[in-house]
Structure 1
Amino acid sequence: MPAILGALKVISVGSSGVVHIGDAIVIAPKSAAKTYAGSGSFNTGDFPSTYNVVSSTNVNDQDIADTNVAGL
């Protein structure tokens, strides 16, 4: 269903970002990323408390390619 859009101001779009205005069937950004993080890495909030006595992150990867991105 079409929408009526008023004023729009786009300040910035990242290198793999998508700005969608209007109807679309498929939105597919062309990028892939892999992130390694240890215990308690992505905690959010005002006062996070983590108790990690021993923490280890396995970053060994046996695959040749994890995410293949094809396109223009």
Structure 2
Amino acid sequence: MPAKVGAVKVNNVSSSSIFNIGDVYSMSPVSSAKTFAGGGSFNTGDGIRINLNQSNTYVYDKDIVDQSRSE
């Protein structure tokens, strides 16, 4: 059944989003990210105490491109 769409105002569409008006069969946005962080980086909560003494994060990534971008 066709969609009935009224007035639409779009202020912003970011680079990692999909914007569609009307009927659609399938929408599948794709994104990827690589994050490097040291010990204790992603802790959340109240009253957390972390003692790492010495913490090093070594990153060796010989790939220039990890995933090809297709548009």
Q: TM-score, normalised by structure 1?
A: 0.56
Letter in 2 for 1:25: S
Question: For residues 65 and 52 of structure 1, do their structure 2 counterparts lie closer, same or farther at Cα, with a shift above 3 Å needed?
Answer: same
- The answer for unaligned runs of 5 or more in structure 1 is 1-11
In the alignment, the residues of structure 2 paired with residue 19 and residue 54 of structure 1 have an alpha-carbon distance, to the nearest angstrom, of 47
Correspondence 1:42-53 to 2 at 5 A: 42-53=42-53
1:27 and 2:28 matched: yes
Q: Percent same amino acid among aligned pairs?
A: 40
Moved over 3 A (4+): 12-15, 17-20, 22-26
In the alignment, the residues of structure 1 paired with residue 64 and residue 42 of structure 2 have an alpha-carbon distance, to the nearest angstrom, of 27
- The answer for unaligned runs of 5 or more in structure 2 is 1-11
Return the index of the structure with the highest Cα Rg: 2
Higher relative contact order (CA 8 A, sep 6+): 1
Aligned length in residues: 61
Q: TM-score, normalised by structure 2?
A: 0.57
RMSD of aligned residue pairs (Cα, Å): 3.0
